[in-house]
Amino acid sequence: MKSFNKIIAVFLALMAVFFLIMNIVLLRQNTSSVPLYKIETNRIEQELKNGRQVSADDYPNILGIYEYSGDSSFYSSDNEYVIKEINNKLYRIEYIDKQKKSNRMLIAVDIALAVFTLIILAVFVFIKKKLLKPFNELSTLPEQLSKRNLVIPLKEHKSRFFGKFVWGMDMLRQELEHSRQKSLEYAKNEKTFLLSLSHDIKTPLAAIKLYSKALSKGIYSSPEKQLEAAESINDKANEIEKIVNELSANLSSEFMDFDVRCSEFYLSDVMSKIEKYYSDKLSVIGTSFSIDEYSNCMLHGDADRLEEVLQNIIENAMKYGDGNSISISFSDEEDCRLITVTNTGCTLPDKELPHIFDSFWRGSNAGSQNGSGLGLYICRRLMELMGGSIFAEISSGCMNITVVCPKQT
């Protein structure tokens, strides 16, 4: 803001200097204390008194010289004039006062410069108030978000320039706050679960140690007591096994929440964003990218989530393909639109294909590529929540992943 204020100050200073120079130049043209037309009329008067012929063309400020002929119109003219009696004759000498005209022009120039300055100044004030000031208020937002200051909501702006931006940033803030709360809740549940698990295992484990120690020291001398101790150890082992099975079941259950808001949307709304983003991105790395022609239709689901699914699939194609070609094709099946993303250079073994949508699973072709094994799992969950599905097949060395999207009926 201070830099912009300096720009305004420099502009006003330049306009003041320009204003001063223009006035000096114009005023220098009017340095004579006596108007020029008076000097010229006096010369004409002297010439006529001396009996010489005179012409208005010889005088820059004289428009005409007329001798009185008895006509009453002699005293009427649209121009300024003076009446001179010379050698007992009346002469009407019409003139133009260029100094007065120059003064009027000076005033007009000053007014024009003042109006221009006010207009530019108004534009500067508008930019400062409507653009720079709201943006300056938002400039600290990324820093605040990085520091996890997520509780205070953003102030709404009526400005059409930043209204949607503020709305989007506030949604991001809410989403980050929601994610933070979920992380804290997960951490709390995880700690509670581990404490509960350690307590549940500690009791049967202590009993097993007690019975095994007694057996090793020969405390139970009779076969009946030994058998009873062995059965107790087995019961406690079964108890621990049950706890471990419950733990495995909990770990294999759903561990991610997905916010899916289904509604009606056009296929072109999603595909236009995909094309705009990946056409540039893939051209930079030299990968051929094409989208087949398709008939637009209305789908049922979450447009943002479908875009996320296609992005995950294309990112996988970029990571695990040969970088030669990625294409998107379309087909119809009953009341669904099928969107297939194909990439060349698939090296995944056929036997691993059924597992690519499992959580935390990574194929043998992953190599040194970074990844969590959750991308396609997330795609499957999102499509299920939108009432669709997703499947994959390998054909002629190409990976084909097809998204099945229900049409709006």
Whole-structure pTM value? 0.51
Please check whether residue 90 is in contact with residue 76, taking contact to mean a CB–CB distance below 8 angstroms: no
pLDDT digits (tens, 9 = 90+) for 145-189: 666 655 555 555 555 666 666 677 777 777 777 777 777 676 777
Rounded Cα distance, 399 and 135, in Å: 46
Residues 6+ apart with CB under 8 A from 287: 318, 323, 324, 325, 326
**Rg, the chain, Cα only:** 46
Rounded Cα distance, 221 and 209, in Å: 18
Rounded Cα distance, 309 and 221, in Å: 67
pLDDT digits (tens, 9 = 90+) for 259-288: 888 999 999 999 999 998 898 889 888 999
pLDDT digits (tens, 9 = 90+) for 319-376: 888 999 999 999 999 899 999 999 999 888 888 898 888 877 777 767 666 666 788 9
Please check whether residue 275 is in contact with residue 291, taking contact to mean a CB–CB distance below 8 angstroms: yes
Of the given ranges (79-83, 178-182, 201-205), which has the lowest mean pLDDT? 178-182
Please check whether residue 134 is in contact with residue 157, taking contact to mean a CB–CB distance below 8 angstroms: yes
Specify the 3-state DSSP secondary structure of 24.
helix
Rounded Cα distance, 147 and 143, in Å: 6
Rounded Cα distance, 127 and 131, in Å: 5
pLDDT band at residue 406 using 50, 70 and 90 as cut-offs: very high
54 vs 336, higher pLDDT? 336
378: pLDDT strictly greater than 80:
yes
Rounded Cα distance, 374 and 376, in Å: 6
Tokens coding 156? 């709404």
Please check whether residue 384 is in contact with residue 399, taking contact to mean a CB–CB distance below 8 angstroms: no
Torsional sign, CA 147, 152, 157, 160: positive
Rounded Cα distance, 317 and 307, in Å: 15
What average pLDDT does the segment 96-100 reach? Answer: 70
Specify the 3-state DSSP secondary structure of 130.
helix
